[in-house]
A and B are shown apart, each in its own frame.
Chain A
Amino acid sequence: MKMIADRQQLAALDVHKIRADFPILEREVRPGVPLVYLDSTATSQKPIQVMQAMDGFYRQSNANIHRGIHTLAEEATAAYERARERIAAFIGAPAPQEVIFTRNTTESINLVAQTWGRAHLEDGDVVILTEMEHHSNLVPWQMLAAERNLRLEFIAVTPEGLLDMDSYASLLKLAPKLVAFAHMSNVLGTINPAREIIRMAHEVGALTVVDAAQSVPHIPVDVSELEVDFLAFSGHKMCGPNGIGILYGRRELLEAMPPFLGGGDMIKRVQLRSFQSNELPYKFEAGTPAIAEAIGLGVAVDYLSEVGMTAIEQYEQEIISYALERLEEIPGVKVFGPEAEHKGGVASFVIPEAHAHDVSQILDGDGIAVRAGHHCAMPLHNKFGVAATSRASFYLYNTLEEVDKLVEGIYKVKGIFA
């Protein structure tokens, strides 16, 4: 235990202070069994600041946004737009108009596929994806491919769990119109070289879509530095509420795109048989949006900024290094994905004795929450020849002691199935 104490002193952030902001971490899963939450890749827990902001909105300022002249409507509009500005600043977007509120990453990617994609992709056009995509950055393109007869190609994943950049270079010879890829794999934890992938795509005239659902919560992401064309992420994985997500798009692209959903707020003028789209960002925000959730996400972004994304990245790097070290000590355990230096805080693993479901269930008996299954990446699991893995994932509130509990739990599983 001395080793752990020393390590914790090196930590880039004060995890005990952070934990105090997350009320759920105090809960016992059942009497005497504290929660060990290792499923933040699926969804993160929420700090009290986010909950209070949303609660405060409903208690004090609840009204529909835009067009209202009364005080509450003005307050609600101001809070909603302030959230957008803070989120834009958080990801380095040149202008808040380039930040569209959606429901989540999935909706953001579907928005690009259904608007930009339908307007620009035609019979035989090539779209490059990767073998490590989450279904949310795969199925929207499959749907469009079926409609438009597109050719989908996939950057190979190496046995170590990295993108094979040689295979990418040769695919680029097909003159793709679009390259869409995950910044960080939700299964392998691999952090892909986004800047390089985007630069290479642009060299052949392709646009880029980055699924940043796992990267924006965990590492500093700056859309201007990346020079990305579209970038999508979800609020709920970054200490924010459910039901709110972001699509960043370069202004000239968004301006040229047809609208997505039709309805209120996305129009400038409506006649009986026609309409004119509103300006950015409202053009893509039809209907009453998730106002409290947008405000909650704005506060989540403030929270993460205050801790510091670089500090969070370093801290998670420490946890994942320790977790890989400990997991690999366990006889028979296989962890998928690259070495710690190439990945974020995700450890997907199998043990020979028991199925991922059973591992998860037995760990739950000790209050340890890990995910079991294909994690919405069935093609990747097929590639590695496993139907299901157990996935432990870490965030700014996890501790090295929790890694130790996970390891003890896995030994317990091995005991039961021995």
Chain B
Amino acid sequence: MDDLYRELIIDRYKNPQYQGELDPNDITFEDDNPYCGDHIRVDVRLDENDVVTKAAYSGEGCSISQASADLLIEHIHGKSLEEVKALTKEDVLELLGIDLGPVRLKCALLSLKVLKAGAYGLGEASDELVE
């Protein structure tokens, strides 16, 4: 339990670095976690080579969902759209540095799901994107 609330997570939750909305943007997508009502929106700007120049997230949720969003958005700066599409569950867990049970895993992966649904230009975010 204490491991779950390692300093990095509490710190990112309380002092997020990438919170906000971008307007204009090249990619924007939002979705909820129906189990708990967590909500995340991700906005991304790309350059002419489809490389992420700036990204931000907004919404509300628990420390795990917010910290993972903050770390994920930090991680994608400078990445190509193709690299963003290829991100996996393992990448997020590595950023967080913890193992999670099935319920909290959904919290941690909400931002990745939203980001990838936006990156692929999908109408709807599906759990398959992060499995």
Contacts and interface: CB of A to CB of B under 8 A. Distances in A.
B103 to A, nearest CB: 8
Interface string B50-85: 000000000011111110000000000000000000
B36 A358 contact: no
A79 B43 CA distance: 62
A361 interface: yes
Contacts of A362: 1, 5
A356 B10 contact: no
Interface string B73-103: 0000000000000000000000000000000
Contacts of B14: 417
Contact of A361 (B4, B10, B39, B60): B4
A388 interface: yes
A187 to B, nearest CB: 13
Interface string A324-359: 000000000000000000000000000000111110
A365 B63 contact: no
A416 B64 contact: no
Interface residues of B, number: 21
Nearest to A360: B62
Q: Which of B4, B62, B64 has most A Cβ within 10 Å?
A: B62
Interface size class of A (residues with CB under 8 A): 10 to 19
Interface string B91-131: 00000000000001001000000000000000000000000
Identify whether the interface residues of A are mostly helix, strand, loop, or mixed: helix
B21 interface: no
A374 interface: yes
Contacts of B1: 361-362, 364-365
Identify whether the interface residues of B are mostly helix, strand, loop, or mixed: mixed
Contact of A355 (B2, B4, B35, B62): B62
Interface string B10-23: 10011000000000
A377 to B, nearest CB: 11
A373 interface: yes
A322 B2 CA distance: 30
Contacts of A365: 1-2
A358 B63 contact: yes
A381 B14 CA distance: 24
B63 A355 contact: yes
A355 B37 contact: no
B60 A387 contact: yes
B38 interface: yes
Nearest to A374: B37
A413 B116 CA distance: 33
Contacts of A355: 60-63, 66
A354 B1 CA distance: 15
A370 B13 CA distance: 22
A378 interface: yes
Contacts of B36: 356-357, 372-374, 387-388
A356 B62 contact: yes
A251 B13 CA distance: 57
A417 B62 contact: no
A26 to B, nearest CB: 22
Interface string A365-390: 10000001110001001000001100
Given A358-B62, A387-B61, A417-B14, 12 more contacts: A354-B62, A357-B36, A357-B62, A357-B64, A357-B65, A357-B107, A358-B63, A362-B5, A364-B1, A381-B37, A387-B37, A387-B60
5 contacts: A354-B62, A355-B62, A362-B1, A417-B14, A417-B63
The 8 closest A-B pairs by CB, nearest first: A357-B62, A365-B1, A355-B62, A387-B37, A373-B36, A358-B63, A374-B37, A358-B62
